[in-house]
Amino acid sequence: MNYWPLLGIAIVVCGFALRLNPALVVVAAGIASGLLAGLPVSDLLALLGNSFVSNRTLLLFVLTLPTIGLLERAGLREQAHVWITRMHRLTLARLLIAYLGLRQVLSMLGLLDLAGHAQTVRPLLAPMAEAAAGKIDPDLSVDERDRVKALAAATDNIGRFFGEDVFLAFGAVLLIQGFYAQHGIDLDPRSIAIWALPTAIAAFVIHSVRLVLYQRHLRRVHASRTMDKATNAAD
Protein backbone atom coordinates (compact mmCIF):
# COMPACT_ATOMS: atom_id res chain seq x y z
CA MET A 1 0.00 0.00 0.00
CA ASN A 2 1.30 3.43 -0.99
CA TYR A 3 1.18 5.83 1.94
CA TRP A 4 2.91 8.70 0.17
CA PRO A 5 -0.37 10.37 -0.95
CA LEU A 6 -1.11 10.95 2.74
CA LEU A 7 1.65 13.55 2.67
CA GLY A 8 -1.03 16.00 1.54
CA ILE A 9 -2.51 15.88 5.03
CA ALA A 10 0.84 16.93 6.48
CA ILE A 11 0.97 19.82 4.00
CA VAL A 12 -2.48 21.00 5.12
CA VAL A 13 -1.55 20.78 8.81
CA CYS A 14 1.74 22.62 8.34
CA GLY A 15 0.18 25.25 6.08
CA PHE A 16 -2.60 26.03 8.53
CA ALA A 17 -0.15 26.03 11.44
CA LEU A 18 2.00 28.59 9.61
CA ARG A 19 -1.18 30.58 8.76
CA LEU A 20 -0.55 30.50 5.05
CA ASN A 21 -3.23 31.21 2.47
CA PRO A 22 -5.81 28.41 2.97
CA ALA A 23 -6.70 28.17 -0.71
CA LEU A 24 -3.07 27.81 -1.75
CA VAL A 25 -2.42 25.27 1.00
CA VAL A 26 -5.36 23.08 -0.03
CA VAL A 27 -4.50 23.24 -3.73
CA ALA A 28 -0.84 22.46 -3.02
CA ALA A 29 -1.86 19.50 -0.84
CA GLY A 30 -4.17 18.20 -3.56
CA ILE A 31 -1.50 18.48 -6.24
CA ALA A 32 1.09 16.79 -4.01
CA SER A 33 -1.26 13.92 -3.13
CA GLY A 34 -2.24 13.47 -6.77
CA LEU A 35 1.33 13.36 -8.03
CA LEU A 36 2.42 11.01 -5.27
CA ALA A 37 -0.53 8.74 -6.12
CA GLY A 38 0.73 8.49 -9.69
CA LEU A 39 -1.98 10.53 -11.42
CA PRO A 40 -0.98 12.06 -14.75
CA VAL A 41 -0.81 15.84 -14.76
CA SER A 42 -3.69 16.08 -17.24
CA ASP A 43 -5.96 13.91 -15.06
CA LEU A 44 -4.95 15.87 -11.97
CA LEU A 45 -5.82 19.19 -13.58
CA ALA A 46 -9.12 17.76 -14.80
CA LEU A 47 -9.93 16.59 -11.27
CA LEU A 48 -9.17 20.01 -9.82
CA GLY A 49 -11.26 21.70 -12.50
CA ASN A 50 -14.23 19.40 -11.94
CA SER A 51 -14.02 19.93 -8.19
CA PHE A 52 -13.98 23.68 -8.66
CA VAL A 53 -16.96 23.65 -11.02
CA SER A 54 -19.03 21.32 -8.84
CA ASN A 55 -18.48 23.55 -5.79
CA ARG A 56 -18.69 26.92 -7.51
CA THR A 57 -21.79 27.87 -5.52
CA LEU A 58 -19.56 28.17 -2.45
CA LEU A 59 -18.01 31.24 -4.08
CA LEU A 60 -21.29 33.07 -3.51
CA PHE A 61 -20.47 33.16 0.21
CA VAL A 62 -16.96 34.41 -0.59
CA LEU A 63 -18.50 37.32 -2.50
CA THR A 64 -21.17 37.91 0.14
CA LEU A 65 -18.80 38.53 3.04
CA PRO A 66 -16.89 41.53 1.61
CA THR A 67 -20.17 43.01 0.37
CA ILE A 68 -21.69 42.78 3.83
CA GLY A 69 -18.49 44.21 5.30
CA LEU A 70 -18.68 47.26 3.05
CA LEU A 71 -22.33 47.81 3.92
CA GLU A 72 -21.57 47.59 7.62
CA ARG A 73 -18.70 50.03 7.24
CA ALA A 74 -21.12 52.43 5.52
CA GLY A 75 -23.41 52.27 8.56
CA LEU A 76 -25.94 49.56 7.71
CA ARG A 77 -26.18 48.26 11.29
CA GLU A 78 -26.57 51.76 12.70
CA GLN A 79 -29.33 52.62 10.21
CA ALA A 80 -31.19 49.40 11.02
CA HIS A 81 -30.92 50.28 14.71
CA VAL A 82 -32.30 53.79 14.15
CA TRP A 83 -35.08 52.52 11.90
CA ILE A 84 -36.38 50.08 14.49
CA THR A 85 -36.14 52.70 17.24
CA ARG A 86 -38.52 54.94 15.29
CA MET A 87 -41.12 52.17 14.90
CA HIS A 88 -42.76 52.34 18.31
CA ARG A 89 -45.28 49.54 17.76
CA LEU A 90 -42.70 47.02 16.55
CA THR A 91 -41.63 44.94 19.53
CA LEU A 92 -38.89 42.35 19.77
CA ALA A 93 -41.34 39.44 19.63
CA ARG A 94 -43.25 40.86 16.66
CA LEU A 95 -40.04 41.47 14.73
CA LEU A 96 -38.61 37.99 15.22
CA ILE A 97 -41.95 36.23 14.73
CA ALA A 98 -42.46 38.08 11.44
CA TYR A 99 -38.97 37.10 10.30
CA LEU A 100 -39.58 33.51 11.39
CA GLY A 101 -42.72 33.29 9.26
CA LEU A 102 -41.02 34.91 6.27
CA ARG A 103 -38.02 32.59 6.58
CA GLN A 104 -40.22 29.52 6.70
CA VAL A 105 -42.28 30.57 3.69
CA LEU A 106 -39.17 31.31 1.63
CA SER A 107 -37.66 27.97 2.62
CA MET A 108 -40.84 26.18 1.63
CA LEU A 109 -40.46 27.73 -1.82
CA GLY A 110 -36.84 26.57 -2.10
CA LEU A 111 -35.33 30.04 -1.56
CA LEU A 112 -33.00 28.76 1.15
CA ASP A 113 -30.09 31.13 0.64
CA LEU A 114 -32.13 34.29 0.12
CA ALA A 115 -31.67 34.91 3.85
CA GLY A 116 -29.16 33.60 6.35
CA HIS A 117 -26.68 34.46 9.07
CA ALA A 118 -24.14 36.24 6.89
CA GLN A 119 -26.48 38.16 4.61
CA THR A 120 -29.42 38.88 6.94
CA VAL A 121 -28.95 38.06 10.62
CA ARG A 122 -25.65 39.81 11.33
CA PRO A 123 -26.11 43.03 9.31
CA LEU A 124 -29.88 43.49 9.73
CA LEU A 125 -31.84 41.21 12.03
CA ALA A 126 -29.45 41.19 15.01
CA PRO A 127 -29.10 45.00 15.29
CA MET A 128 -32.85 45.41 14.68
CA ALA A 129 -33.62 42.90 17.44
CA GLU A 130 -31.12 44.60 19.74
CA ALA A 131 -32.77 47.96 19.11
CA ALA A 132 -36.23 46.48 19.74
CA ALA A 133 -35.00 44.96 23.02
CA GLY A 134 -33.44 48.29 23.93
CA LYS A 135 -36.87 49.93 23.75
CA ILE A 136 -38.01 47.53 26.47
CA ASP A 137 -34.92 47.87 28.65
CA PRO A 138 -32.46 50.63 27.70
CA ASP A 139 -29.95 49.29 30.23
CA LEU A 140 -29.46 45.86 28.66
CA SER A 141 -26.51 43.96 30.04
CA VAL A 142 -23.89 42.39 27.82
CA ASP A 143 -25.32 38.94 28.53
CA GLU A 144 -28.82 40.05 27.58
CA ARG A 145 -27.57 41.62 24.35
CA ASP A 146 -25.80 38.37 23.49
CA ARG A 147 -29.01 36.48 24.27
CA VAL A 148 -30.98 38.71 21.89
CA LYS A 149 -28.44 38.12 19.13
CA ALA A 150 -28.57 34.38 19.80
CA LEU A 151 -32.37 34.46 19.55
CA ALA A 152 -32.11 36.22 16.20
CA ALA A 153 -29.72 33.56 14.91
CA ALA A 154 -31.90 30.77 16.33
CA THR A 155 -34.95 32.25 14.62
CA ASP A 156 -33.20 32.01 11.27
CA ASN A 157 -32.10 28.42 11.96
CA ILE A 158 -35.57 27.26 12.98
CA GLY A 159 -37.26 29.01 10.07
CA ARG A 160 -34.96 27.39 7.54
CA PHE A 161 -34.70 23.94 9.13
CA PHE A 162 -38.42 23.35 9.53
CA GLY A 163 -39.39 25.13 6.33
CA GLU A 164 -37.05 23.43 3.89
CA ASP A 165 -38.55 19.99 4.54
CA VAL A 166 -41.77 21.20 2.93
CA PHE A 167 -39.91 21.96 -0.32
CA LEU A 168 -40.40 19.06 -2.74
CA ALA A 169 -36.92 19.18 -4.30
CA PHE A 170 -35.05 19.41 -1.02
CA GLY A 171 -32.37 16.74 -0.59
CA ALA A 172 -33.78 15.42 2.69
CA VAL A 173 -37.18 14.78 1.10
CA LEU A 174 -35.57 12.86 -1.75
CA LEU A 175 -33.39 10.98 0.74
CA ILE A 176 -36.47 9.88 2.67
CA GLN A 177 -38.15 8.78 -0.55
CA GLY A 178 -35.07 6.79 -1.59
CA PHE A 179 -34.77 5.12 1.80
CA TYR A 180 -38.35 3.88 1.73
CA ALA A 181 -38.02 2.83 -1.92
CA GLN A 182 -35.13 0.55 -0.96
CA HIS A 183 -37.46 -1.20 1.48
CA GLY A 184 -40.27 -1.61 -1.03
CA ILE A 185 -42.37 1.35 0.12
CA ASP A 186 -43.31 3.76 -2.66
CA LEU A 187 -43.85 7.30 -1.38
CA ASP A 188 -44.67 10.43 -3.33
CA PRO A 189 -42.38 13.38 -2.45
CA ARG A 190 -45.52 15.51 -2.26
CA SER A 191 -46.84 13.33 0.56
CA ILE A 192 -43.57 13.65 2.46
CA ALA A 193 -43.59 17.43 2.06
CA ILE A 194 -47.24 17.72 3.11
CA TRP A 195 -46.65 15.67 6.27
CA ALA A 196 -43.70 17.92 7.12
CA LEU A 197 -46.07 20.90 7.20
CA PRO A 198 -47.56 20.15 10.67
CA THR A 199 -44.04 19.99 12.10
CA ALA A 200 -43.21 23.36 10.54
CA ILE A 201 -46.37 24.88 12.01
CA ALA A 202 -45.60 23.41 15.44
CA ALA A 203 -42.05 24.80 15.29
CA PHE A 204 -43.43 28.23 14.38
CA VAL A 205 -45.87 28.22 17.31
CA ILE A 206 -43.36 26.90 19.86
CA HIS A 207 -40.61 29.35 18.93
CA SER A 208 -43.10 32.23 18.81
CA VAL A 209 -44.15 31.41 22.37
CA ARG A 210 -40.48 31.35 23.40
CA LEU A 211 -39.99 34.82 21.91
CA VAL A 212 -43.04 36.21 23.69
CA LEU A 213 -41.92 34.73 27.00
CA TYR A 214 -38.44 36.18 26.60
CA GLN A 215 -39.92 39.60 25.86
CA ARG A 216 -41.93 39.36 29.08
CA HIS A 217 -38.73 38.39 30.89
CA LEU A 218 -37.04 41.55 29.64
CA ARG A 219 -39.95 43.65 30.85
CA ARG A 220 -39.83 42.06 34.30
CA VAL A 221 -36.08 42.66 34.50
CA HIS A 222 -36.54 46.29 33.49
CA ALA A 223 -39.37 46.79 36.01
CA SER A 224 -37.27 45.24 38.77
CA ARG A 225 -34.27 47.40 37.89
CA THR A 226 -36.43 50.53 37.82
CA MET A 227 -37.91 49.68 41.22
CA ASP A 228 -34.46 49.14 42.69
CA LYS A 229 -33.30 52.52 41.39
CA ALA A 230 -36.36 54.22 42.85
CA THR A 231 -35.77 52.50 46.21
CA ASN A 232 -32.10 53.51 46.25
CA ALA A 233 -33.01 57.10 45.36
CA ALA A 234 -35.58 57.24 48.16
CA ASP A 235 -33.02 55.94 50.66
**SS3 track for 194-210:** HHHHHHHHHHHHHHHHH
pLDDT, one tens digit per residue, over 158-216 is 999 998 888 876 767 777 778 778 878 887 878 888 888 899 999 999 999 999 999 99
The residues spanned by each domain of the chain are: 4-54, 61-234
pLDDT of residue 205: 96
pLDDT of residue 38: 86
Query: Which of 77, 72, 81, 76 is closest to 132 using CA atoms?
Result: 81
pLDDT of residue 153: 94
pLDDT of residue 235: 65
Contacts 24+ apart (CB under 8 A), 228-231: none
pLDDT of residue 71: 73
**Residues in the chain with pLDDT < 70?**
1, 53-65, 169, 171, 235
Terminal CA-to-CA distance of the chain, rounded, Å?
Answer: 82
